[in-house]
Amino acid sequence: MVKRACFVISILFVLGCTQPDSSQEHDRIVALASSIIPKPNETTVKADEYFEFNENTAIVADDQLSSLVGVVQGYLEELTGYQITKSDNGDNALILKLDEQLDEERYSIEVDKSQILIKGGSTKGVLHGFQTIRQLLITQDQSFVIPAMTINDEPRFPWRGLQLDCSRHFMEKDFVKRYIDLLALYKMNVFHWHLTEDQGWRIEIKKYPKLTSVGAWRDDGKGGKYGGFYTQEEIKEVVEYATARGITVVPEIEMPGHSVAALAAYPELSCTGGPFEVETDWGVFKDIYCAGNDATFTFLEDVLTEVMALFPSKYIHVGGDEAPKFRWEECEKCQQRIKDESLHNEHELQSYFIKRIEKFLNANGRQIVGWDEILEGGLAPGATVQSWRGFEGAEAAVKSGHNAVVSPTSHAYFDYSVDDIDLEKVYSFEPLPKGLTPEEASLILGGECNMWTERAPQHLVDSKVFPRILAMTEVLWSDTTNRNYQEFNDRVQTQYSILNKLGVTYGFEKNPVEVSSEVRDGELMAKLSSYDPNIELYYSINNQKAIKYEQPVEIQEPVTFDVSFKKNDIFYSDTVKQYFVPHKGVGKPIELISNYSPNYTAGGDRALLDGKKGGSNFKDGNWQGYWATDVEVIVDLGELIDIKKVQTSFFQHNRSWIFFPEKVEFLLSEDGENFKSAGIIINTIDAMEKGELIQNFEISAEGLKGRYLKMKAKSISKCPDWHEAAGNDSWLFIDELIIN
């Protein structure tokens, strides 16, 4: 997490007087009003006039806005410390009015020295206007001044959401409410609450108590249990809290896949009958709800009946993604269902499954949302598609007359590191796929940022979501005609003081440091650089005292390199760890006979000889991924040398379709043409072994000589029969090729 209490841009300051005399103070207040995110469509700031909140300020509101008044009072009293009451008096007042001429979420603000007038097309519109005022107040501590100005604003898209996965890691109720507050501040309006998964069932269902007594808990690896769930009373509290702040809570109840936690509680709903345990690993699992068993649909309808009673949302998210068909292919009941319903295959069986659930929800006045896999086998009649595997799902949906929400992995997956998706990448997101007709474009409801939590328990969520959500909210709210990243980033800098005040431990705009290597006079050198010249870099070697980085550091032996950061005299708590290992092959020419995947370049063609070793995350930028191919490389050492040891490491995480090679062979040559085997290492680790595993493959012998070294790694080729992706191509992930 990042703690930066002093990271404040100069235009955000403590206002010391109601009527600033100096032009400098006036300019600062004007700049403050120009820092709003998302950027309003029209803003005009007037000169030398201000409204001040004080002990006499009152709220004047239309009767229809009575429910909103309490929320606004709570915010203002928290910000200013004043007891602000409702009144009919318009002097020194915050006036809240409905305007039937405005669209639902549109609002206007007019500020002069005697009042702030906020008009909205609905309660939501008025609340959006107030959140704009709230942004301007948060960093003020003594006087609470708003410059005279007018704002006219409305959102570009009606669906502006954050998905929070509380199933992989349970999030406390108050933490969830805190995020609803943050969404409201930045005018997001959908909280997509991911409540069921293979690793945990998080919602109390009174008719099926084992869903929480069994399904909400998994082994923690230390002899205990990890998990939790929300009672129905807690869910009602969260939904009520969100509704009062203009946020619609859309629950996600996964089906037919990602259901192992439910099957652990009620194994009779599976194709095999179990038994099952709540999963402790991440990935995709082959055991899913049995589509041939009517009891499955009875169960799900019962569950959804209780869900609908808790969530007034028009939409219920049913997941539908990553549902392997392996069990269905072998299940007599599922095969009979295919025959009885005149279906052609298991993909159409999934379509039958989703359509049957949709019919039930429609009969109860609700509509379904599902991930883009629900397109396979035929889309349910009224379904909304959430497109995550690129934009193709959204395009297919709208071209067939269906609504779509766009949240592609390329721009919207905030569990990905800033190496993959930085602030600028999110800001470049355009939810409307190219080539749509106006009618098709109107079916794009908007977008979401997705916060999956396999690698992000509660204490890391802030640093993943912020500041990137600031880019997403502006993309989904503001007009695109004047989008300018540098201007936006300047406004982001002003937001950090707001986030500091709210206790948000935000992360980085982009990777704060690039750790690279070079060979200088035959020696391995570690190099550090940052995108921000104001960030000071420090490094420690093997946990020794940190040293300020000034120039490349010579690496003479294997070391652990820890990099830390300092800005504005504040040390970030985030650090970057890198393992360096010098060896004879570093920097030598390498020929890649097989091609690595462009999705895992890991340093490009030089990655296997750059002296940098990978860690326990195959996405850490050091591992190089090969898809559906063996690995074969040739290294030219430049001269004939004695070789005592050669080694490389491979990664296995079978849930990610990554497996150790069947075998690795090292061969030596003096001329680059005639190679002789120096040793073959057969893998002995079972492909079924769970977890994220690293295995060294090495030869060690005296008397070996060569100028050229060839390494060949034999892939298992396809995911094994027992695997949920049986028959699909598999991955090989390889690390540094170390030669000594």
Question: What is the per-residue DSSP string for 259-290?
Answer: -HHHHHH-GGGSSS--------S-S--S----
pLDDT digits (tens, 9 = 90+) for 572-624: 767 889 999 999 999 999 999 999 998 787 678 889 999 999 998 888 889 99
Cα dist from 424 to 2, 405, 527, whole Å: 20, 21, 24
Burial of 226-245, coded b for 16+ CB within 10 Å and e otherwise, reads: bbbbbeeebbeebbebbbbb
How many whole angstroms separate alpha carbon 261 and alpha carbon 218? Answer: 9
How many residues are recorded in the chain?
A: 740
How many whole angstroms separate alpha carbon 33 and alpha carbon 14? Answer: 14
pTM for this prediction: 0.87
Q: At 88, is the pLDDT very low, low, confident or very high (cuts 50, 70, 90)?
A: confident
Q: Which structure tokens are listed for 422?
A: 């930085």
Of all residues in the chain, what percent carry a pLDDT higher than 90? Answer: 81
Decide: residue 727, CB within 10 A, 0-12 exposed, 13-18 middle, 19+ buried.
exposed
Residue 376 has pLDDT above 70, yes or no: yes
Question: In 3-state terms, what secondary structure has residue 541?
Answer: strand
Q: Locate tokens 């501590």: which residue? A: 141
Cβ partners under 8 Å of residue 428, min gap 6: 411, 485
On whether the CB atoms of residues 383 and 371 are closer than 8 A, the answer is no
pLDDT digits (tens, 9 = 90+) for 239-252: 999 999 999 999 99
On whether the CB atoms of residues 57 and 46 are closer than 8 A, the answer is no
Question: Of the candidates 303, 144, 294, 132, which has an alpha carbon nearest to the alpha carbon of residue 212?
Answer: 303
Question: Of the candidates 249, 244, 144, which has an alpha carbon nearest to the alpha carbon of residue 191?
Answer: 249
Q: Which domains are delineated in the chain?
A: 23-153 (3.30.379.10), 512-579 (2.60.40.10), 583-739 (2.60.120.1190)
User: Per-residue DSSP letters for 193-262?
Assistant: EE-EETTEE-B--TT-THHHHTTTEEE-SSSSEEE--B-HHHHHHHHHHHHHTT-EEEEEEEESSS-HHH
Question: In 3-state terms, what secondary structure has residue 604?
Answer: helix
pLDDT digits (tens, 9 = 90+) for 98-119: 999 999 999 999 999 999 999 9
Q: Going by DSSP bridges, is the β-strand pair 576-580/612-613 parallel, antiparallel, or unpaired?
A: antiparallel
Ramachandran sector of residue 657 (left: φ over 0; alpha: ψ -120 to 50; beta: rest): left
Residue 179 has pLDDT above 50, yes or no: yes
How many whole angstroms separate alpha carbon 121 and alpha carbon 103? Answer: 5
How many whole angstroms separate alpha carbon 133 and alpha carbon 126? Answer: 11
pLDDT digits (tens, 9 = 90+) for 122-172: 999 999 999 999 999 998 888 899 999 999 999 999 999 999 999 999 999
Cα dist from 257 to 8, 196, 346, 654, whole Å: 46, 10, 13, 18
Cα dist from 161 to 182, 311, 386, 449, whole Å: 12, 16, 12, 6
Q: Tell me what pLDDT residue 27 has.
A: 66
| Cβ-based neighbour number of residue 601 at 10 Å | 13
Q: Tell me what pLDDT residue 574 has.
A: 73
